[in-house]
Amino acid sequence: MSKLLEIKDLHASIGGKEILKGVNLTINEGEVHAIMGPNGAGKSTLSAVLTGNPAYEVTRGKVYLKGQNLLAMEPEIRARAGVFLSFQYPVEIPGVSMTNFMRTAINAKREYEGKEPLSPREFLALMREKKKMLELPDKLNNRSVNEGFSGGEKKKNEIFQMAMLEPCLSILDETDSGLDIDALRIVAEGVNRLKTPENASIVITHYQRLLDYIVPDFVHVLADGKIVKTGDKSLALELEEKGYEGLSL
């Protein structure tokens, strides 16, 4: 089992305000890590910093992806190297079709890996296969990215993109928020089917509910910019029962 991601003493701020205050976390291939914590703890900041969101500034610390300095890479290079974020609020892009968007993304990744671009026929076959897995409608191809999608469709579309791009590290940021139980099941089944011994996931969530479907190997509690407690899946149940206040830290 080899190290996929190493976060060492990570500090980050936005607009001069420090949000992450020394995060340490190691993720091995094949593992699922849940990150829970109260509002404002820095959960979304962590996902933004790992993906290179320019709104945030890293002030201290290191992050390595398969031994490479992740923080030195442009956002698109991190993505091509296999870091994928399922956005809490997927962005609507009117006028850019899912087909055009997805083909540009997948061929950028293939080029980075030294592979030939997919032919239109191969690409469309792959789209069809993955759409079916997420129970997304056929007409998705011609629709603009996320435009007019319901909350559930947007989240399914995130996991669909994850299925298309086959990342080595998936970060699911509050993927369960705004989902009804059927959509939650489809999304979670999608995530579980994409799991391999070589990839890993970080599941950021507020609630235990999602973890009934996506079972984590580790649960971390992030509070005030630091991981304050780590346990197995029973920690999530304990949090559900006692709340963050009741946690003996």
Q: Shortest gap between Cβ of 218 and other proteins (angstroms)?
A: 24
Q: Closer to other proteins by CB, 104 or 230: give it.
A: 104
Distance CA 245, CA 23 (A): 21
* C-beta contacts of 133-136 below 8 A and 24+ residues apart: 133/160, 133/163, 133/190, 133/193, 134/159, 134/160, 134/163, 134/186, 134/187, 134/190, 135/186, 136/160
Rounded to a whole number of angstroms, the minimum distance from the CB of residue 118 to other proteins is 12
Q: Give the separation between CA 70 and CA 153, rounded to whole angstroms.
A: 31
Q: Could you tell me the smallest distance in angstroms from the CB atom of residue 79 to other proteins?
A: 4
Say how far apart CA 212 and CA 150 lie, in whole Å: 24
Q: What residues make contact with other proteins under the rule CB under 8 A?
A: 51-54, 74-76, 79-80, 84-85, 87, 90-96, 100-101, 104-106, 108-109, 112, 120, 144-145, 161, 165
Q: Which residue has the tokens 């994928």?
A: 84
Q: Which is nearer to other proteins, 105 or 126 (CB)?
A: 105
Provide, rounded to whole angstroms, the least separation between the CB of residue 55 and other proteins: 8
Question: CB of residue 44 vs other proteins: minimum separation in angstroms?
Answer: 13
By beta-carbon proximity to other proteins, the closer residue of 33 and 109 is 109
- Give 105 or 215: the residue with its C-beta nearer to other proteins: 105
Task: Give 109 or 220: the residue with its C-beta nearer to other proteins.
Answer: 109
Closer of 79 and 223 to other proteins (Cβ): 79
Interatomic CA distance for residues 216 and 191, integer angstroms: 12
β-strands 3-14, 169-173 pairing: unpaired
Q: How far is the CB of 193 from other proteins (least distance, A)?
A: 20
Rounded distance, CA 249 to CA 242, Å?
13
Interaxial angle between packed helices 181-193 and 151-165, expressed in degrees from 0 to 180 and rounded to the nearest 10: 10
Shortest Å, Cβ 148 to other proteins: 14
Q: Cα–Cα distance between 201 and 222 in angstroms, integer? A: 16
CA angle, 21 then 167 then 3, to 5°: 55
Residue placing its CB nearer to other proteins in the complex, 87 or 218: 87
